[in-house]
Chain A
Amino acid sequence: MFRNQYDTDVTTWSPQGRIFQIEYAMEAVKQGSAAVGLKSKEYAVLATLKRAPSELSSYQRKVFKIDDHMGIAISGLTADGRILCRYMRNECLNHRYVYDSAMPLGRMVRQVADKAQVADKAQVGTQRSWKRPYGVGLIVAGYDEAGPHVFYNCPSGNYYDYKAFAMGARSQAAKTYLERQFESFGGASLDELVKHALHALQASLQDGELTDKNCSVAVVGKDTTFTLLEDEALAPYITGALASACCCFCRLFAGALLGDEALAPYITAVKEEEPEAAGMEAEQPAAEAEGGAAAAAGGEGEQQGGGGGGGDEGGAAPMQE
């Protein structure tokens, strides 16, 4: 979308009935690095790619625990994300103090987004001329009496209930992976679920590999309080995921172009010989396939024709992670 005369402030509608400032705020989410959330019948899992501003610095945190049964992953303006995180923690704490029980996720997410009242958090920013919308998307994962949940809170003040979701830079690749695999998530074990999350994240990684330093994972379930897995705790999942990552990645995208039958001989050859070497060769057509698949699927789930999936390769601004 391009600059036009209706995008100066958030209280101006365009003749087509759009508010551009809100849509620009949703673009900010795509500037952040990828985050995915998925759930099975018993667990919800978050996985994020962390960025480091320079080689000398540590990686920016993207996953925050809100309460024993709930946590969020953010993508976009980290500062805005921290404010929402603080608000959510406060609300959950007060709920525990007053009612001696865990806050239901649906209520929390709705409070953050929109109760169709002007007093709520994100939507207020879309209705006051002296405020701006929050430039951060939240994936809220948690477990309450109704089971595990994965919600997405959008800067527009909307929230959505998902079986699996991905957001951030190059997240379309992760979404494609999730779309193909989500039917098997329901009965998956916790280990399988984490591996799926890491595979999805791998799909969004442009260059380099998943290491225990540049990604973080969090799990929550019925008897599992919200636990952040990083560094050493994450290492076993990473090695497990990487072993099968290359094959999955290639098959996924090459299969889209060549068709599964035509691909079969390549796959067996790859498995028998050197998985790494053959994976590198197949990387080339796979990269092109990603562009094709992304363009085709670019319209899905994105607001009004934003071609963000494959296109957003620009350098991230320093404050956005």
Chain B
Amino acid sequence: MLHRPPSHSAAIGPGAVPCLALPTPAALEQRQQLGAAQAPSCGAEAFTVDPAALAGGQPRKHTQYPYVTGTSVLGITYKDGVLLASDTLGAYGSTKRYKSFERLRKVNDVCAVGASGELSDFQYIMRLLEELSDDDFCMDDGHHLKPHEVHSYLCRVLYNRRNKFDPLWNSIVVGGFYGGKPFLGTVGMIGTNYTDEHVATGFGNHLARPLMREKHRPDMSEEEATALMHECLKVCYYRDKNSINKFQLAKVTAEGVTISEPFALETDWNYKLFANPAANAPGTW
């Protein structure tokens, strides 16, 4: 039986295995010596879960609930690139606990990602992507991760974790601009993935995408695209309980990635129907 370091199960404790994106030279050495000639050099080390260490007889339990979560992320393509948008809230259940959490992050000059769901898992995913970018830098051969490669990589990672019944509890939007064409894709926590001209996660799927379907065109100008995004963000803020009026917009074009400073949108709470929301639904509270 090949010796492999045990995984980060609750029974064994975290940190038993370095969870890096790429195996360390020492790990590769060991693989070679033990004759695992087929083990490739990309992808993290294989590991096993030691069944003896689990609480006797109980089924394995890993991530079951997310704790600090982000809500929807929206993305659209336009003539010169892609726009991603989200608010900056990290909610702890229904408490609006962390109000300045950046949920849109730059990966490299051609790609940005945004995530909803468990924010600690998002930070782990960013660590993986940063490792890959650092490796590219050290290789020093001019190659960098392209948006569809980032998308494919994240699909593989999330699907792999889902297969271990220990998912990274995120829905991710990958937006980029490469080869003169915009790229927009999404990956769910069980590995479901697709690319499209406009995507959203979570509540954004129900609230924002109908607006996008109506108003989006691939050759929109930047102003039109920004206006559409503001509308969608407003709707999400009005109707999603777990959101705040503080948003960021990430733009990826041929010039690179820019993530805006947080901004607020004008909202109006004086609609008549807001005054007595239960008027048409007796019995609600």
Using a CB–CB distance below 8 Å, which chain A residues touch chain B?
A: 83, 86-87, 90-91, 94-95, 97-101, 104, 106-107, 110-111, 117-119, 124, 146
Interface size on B, as a range, is 20 to 34
B122-143 interface bits toward A, Cβ cutoff 8 Å, 1 = contact, 0 = none: 0000000000000000010111
> Which residues does chain B contribute within 8 Å of A99, judged by CB atoms?
145, 149, 152-153
Are A94 and B32 also in contact (CB < 8 A) when A104-B143, A107-B139, A117-B25 are? no
> Which residues does chain B contribute within 8 Å of A94, judged by CB atoms?
40, 42-43
User: CA separation between A83 and B32, bound complex, in Å?
Assistant: 13
> Which residues does chain B contribute within 8 Å of A87, judged by CB atoms?
37
B43 CB to nearest chain A CB (Å): 6
Are A98 and B41 also in contact (CB < 8 A) when A104-B141, A119-B25, A146-B142 are? no
B45 CB to nearest chain A CB (Å): 13
**How many contacting A-B pairs (Cβ < 8 A)?**
51
User: CA separation between A91 and B22, bound complex, in Å?
Assistant: 13
Do B143 and A107 touch (CB < 8 A)? yes
In the complex, B8 has a CB within 8 A of chain A: no
B149-185 interface bits toward A, Cβ cutoff 8 Å, 1 = contact, 0 = none: 1011100100000000000000000000000000000
Do A91 and B141 touch (CB < 8 A)? no
In the complex, B38 has a CB within 8 A of chain A: yes
B29 CB to nearest chain A CB (Å): 5
Do B156 and A107 touch (CB < 8 A)? no
* Complex A-B, nearest 6 residue pairs according to Cβ-Cβ distance, in ascending order: A100-B152, A119-B28, A94-B40, A99-B149, A119-B25, A117-B25
> Which residues does chain B contribute within 8 Å of A146, judged by CB atoms?
142
Do B141 and A101 touch (CB < 8 A)? no
> Which residues does chain B contribute within 8 Å of A91, judged by CB atoms?
40-42
User: CA separation between A110 and B159, bound complex, in Å?
Assistant: 30
User: CA separation between A87 and B38, bound complex, in Å?
Assistant: 7
Do B42 and A98 touch (CB < 8 A)? yes
User: CA separation between A144 and B143, bound complex, in Å?
Assistant: 11
User: CA separation between A94 and B29, bound complex, in Å?
Assistant: 19
In the complex, B230 has a CB within 8 A of chain A: no
Are A101 and B40 also in contact (CB < 8 A) when A107-B139, A118-B29, A119-B28 are? no
User: CA separation between A111 and B42, bound complex, in Å?
Assistant: 11
User: CA separation between A110 and B142, bound complex, in Å?
Assistant: 14
User: CA separation between A98 and B153, bound complex, in Å?
Assistant: 5
